[in-house]
Amino acid sequence: MSNETRKKLVGGHIELGHVLGTGGFGKVYYAYDVKKGVNVAVKMIDKELVRSSGIQSYVEREIDLMRKIKNPHVIRLLEAIETSKAYNLVMELAPNGELFDKIVDSQRFDESTARNYFQQLISAVHYCHQLNIVHRDLKAENLLLGENNVLKVCDFGLSRYTKEGLFSDHEVLFMSLAGSIDYQAPEVLKERGYEGSACDMWSCGCILFFMLCGYLPFTDRSDGLTRKRILSCQYNKNSRYLSEEAADLISHLLERAPSARFKTSDVIQHTWFRVDLNPELFPKDKVEPTPSSPSGGEFIERAITPQASSSSFTNTTAPTPTTQKADEIHQAFQTCNITGDGFLHKEEVRDALIKLNGDVEVSEDEVNDFMANFQLDAEGRITEEEFVVGWTKHQNSLGKKYDVAKMANLFHYDLEKEFLQVIRKAFDSIDVEHSGTITKQDLKKLNLGLTDKDVESIFHTVDTENKGLQALTFEMFVGLCLKYDFFKNHPLAIRLRRLNAFFEATEHAAFRTSFSTSYTVAGQREVIKVLLLSKQGSLSTTFEEGDVIGFLYGTYSEDSKKVLEVGVRLLPAAPGYTKVSTYRIGGKTTEFHKWFLNLRKLMKDELLRCEEDTAVKGEAELM
């Protein structure tokens, strides 16, 4: 890349070249990473357009999703750089263009070529669906060709999680008209709600048909006619370019009923798909390939030459010792980066080293020595890319002292990252010296009137094996915060909940306990009603039904769509107390969860007063 074509510097080390493509919110540039000496692609998203269009959450979600996806057939996000004018997603470069152009140039593919690409596509989709991620915009234009023409799925701007989060196993029903019409499933066009994974499979069927026949199955003279054909599933099922087995697979993918449509697991077992299948595409599924038989059809074009197919492709996916070690390094980063923000903070490094040291505090020098092996960003953090580069560069010294395989399995938190960030804030508010542990002395300094016996009682809750624990690590602290019954019933723990950061940190367990069963606060119903009306400006409608006082929270919207409408009932409890019962009338589950936690936060004093009044009296004793 010549100096003449380098027009702009991003993040101090990314030199932009010519434009590869243009979208509604920015451009994709050919670029050069000066630091690593490699060519990359940069998706530059205009911040002003993002703000004016109200799609900030979309951009953040795309970055979050791409950081989680580690698959050889998905374009990899190397770095995300925010500047004053743009969000810059630095991605691996796919030098051989779009699959769409390759199909058009070739008119169509023979079965062997189409199968090769389709196997790689299903490998990527299968991987994403196992992570509860759906793409929602699969099309030939979003399938790029990397080195040796290896297929890479790109553009996760419309991707979503298919689960509602930690609090529900239910599939999310999407309402938006996502994707390009030529690839859209019937249920998407009906706009009555759809599950994302099934619409991805429909798109895969359209792509396979396109590769084999040279044209899209439902495209017509206008969008209206195309829509009609999709809704009635009218396509050329008897095309002379489709073998019987290929036509059968496509018919299962272009099935109108989403519930009857093939999933990735069904595709993997299909006879046509299994011919010459590389088992390493599905390492956890143990799929047996079917040998190909000679065919007399005209050879149009092979995506990968036999030499490339047997060598470079294997190098991309086969679990050689080198790639196994690389996977362990990536996993070590992701495990230690417990907040999942893509940056390894000093506190997280300290947590990891303490865990590796048998839960014993490590010195500041050791933490600094470890971090000195990596290139830090302006805020003193390690990106995943720099973690891999640094570990590889210093593997002799690091490998002798730290077991990367053990690091890859250090922590297993079944918590959303937002709650982990809240708990981290609470931990740091007590660990004022940032030693990575909370000592008994730290608890005494909180000015809560805790005696030595009180502190021992709290430590005993964590030290279930009676090891004589002298300090709490962050991991232990997380476990402590999740013991809501302890905080609800133990008078000493209730005093700890008076600390704002600690209150928020322990609310996650409170959520699980009280979300579906309501909760009780101190105060008469009329007093609580006045309190809520004064603190929650969006309260709009009040009603009374016998002994029940209730009100509806006003709605708020995104893009003219209702996001949340909630009801609150105040029920009679014991004299001087009120039971608070909430229910969702309409809107997103995730927004309801956030609102519910905020409601409890607003009622913190009344909640804690009730907990103190109902706690066991007398000397504190834990069962």
**Tokens at 264, concatenated:** 């990735």
Phi, psi (deg, nearest 5) at residue 77: -80, 120
- Domains of the chain, residue spans: 3-92, 99-310, 323-451+460-475, 515-614
Cβ proximity of 74 and 153 under 8 Å: yes
Please give the share of the chain, as a percent, with pLDDT higher than 70: 77
Q: Is 248 helix (H, G, I), strand (E, B) or coil?
A: helix
| Cα 383–chain centre separation | 17
145: amino acid identity, one letter = L
Question: DSSP letters along 148-177, please?
Answer: GG-EEE---TT-EESB--TT--SBPPB-S-
Q: CA nearest 487: which of 511, 452, 467, 518?
A: 511
Q: Give the residue, 467 or 132, on which the prediction is more confident.
A: 132
On average, the pLDDT of the chain sits at 79
CATH topology of domain 515-614: TATA-Binding Protein (3.30.310)
pLDDT at 118: 98
Domains 3-92 and 99-310 share a fold: no
Residue with tokens 């020595």: 369
Residue with tokens 């409170």: 510
Mean pLDDT across the stretch 201-218?
96
pLDDT at 126: 95
Cβ proximity of 205 and 211 under 8 Å: no
pLDDT at 317: 35
CA distance 192 to 214: 32
Q: CA nearest 66: which of 45, 38, 95, 51?
A: 45
Cβ proximity of 292 and 309 under 8 Å: no
Question: Does residue 285 surpass a pLDDT of 70?
Answer: no
Sort 544 into a burial class: Cβ within 10 Å, 0-12 / 13-18 / 19+: exposed
Q: Lowest-confidence range among 412-416, 493-497, 503-507?
A: 412-416
pLDDT at 601: 81
Contacts of 112 (CB under 8 A, 6+ apart): 276, 292, 295, 302
Question: Does residue 510 surpass a pLDDT of 80?
Answer: no
Residues 533-552: pLDDT tens digits?
A: 776 554 444 545 556 555 55
DSSP classification of residue 284: T
pLDDT at 492: 64
DSSP classification of residue 254: T
Residues 8-36: pLDDT tens digits?
A: 688 888 999 888 887 767 889 999 999 88
Contacts of 605 (CB under 8 A, 6+ apart): none
CA distance 351 to 353: 6
Cβ proximity of 567 and 583 under 8 Å: yes
Sort 414 into a burial class: Cβ within 10 Å, 0-12 / 13-18 / 19+: exposed
Please give the share of the chain, as a percent, with pLDDT higher than 90: 29
The CATH code for residues 3-92 is 3.30.200.20
**Tokens at 54, concatenated:** 């109200």
DSSP classification of residue 603: T
Residues 365-377: pLDDT tens digits?
A: 999 999 999 998 8
Phi, psi (deg, nearest 5) at residue 114: -60, -40
365: amino acid identity, one letter = D
CATH topology of domain 99-310: Transferase(Phosphotransferase); domain 1 (1.10.510)
Contacts of 584 (CB under 8 A, 6+ apart): 564, 565, 566, 567, 592
Q: Is 377 a catalytic residue?
A: no
| Catalytic residue selected from 33, 110, 137, 454 | 137
Cβ proximity of 121 and 211 under 8 Å: no
Cβ atoms within 10 Å of 549's Cβ, excluding its own? 19
Residues belonging to the chain: 623
pLDDT category at 323 given cuts 50, 70, 90 is very low
- Residue 562 β-bridge partners: 557
Question: Does residue 397 surpass a pLDDT of 70?
Answer: yes
pLDDT at 110: 95
Structural class in CATH, domain 323-451+460-475: mainly alpha
Residues 472-500: pLDDT tens digits?
A: 888 888 877 777 556 566 666 677 777 77
Question: Does residue 179 surpass a pLDDT of 50?
Answer: yes
Q: Give the residue, 277 or 552, on which the prediction is more confident.
A: 277
> Which residues line the annotated binding site for ATP?
43
> Which residues line the annotated binding site?
43
Question: Does residue 113 surpass a pLDDT of 80?
Answer: yes
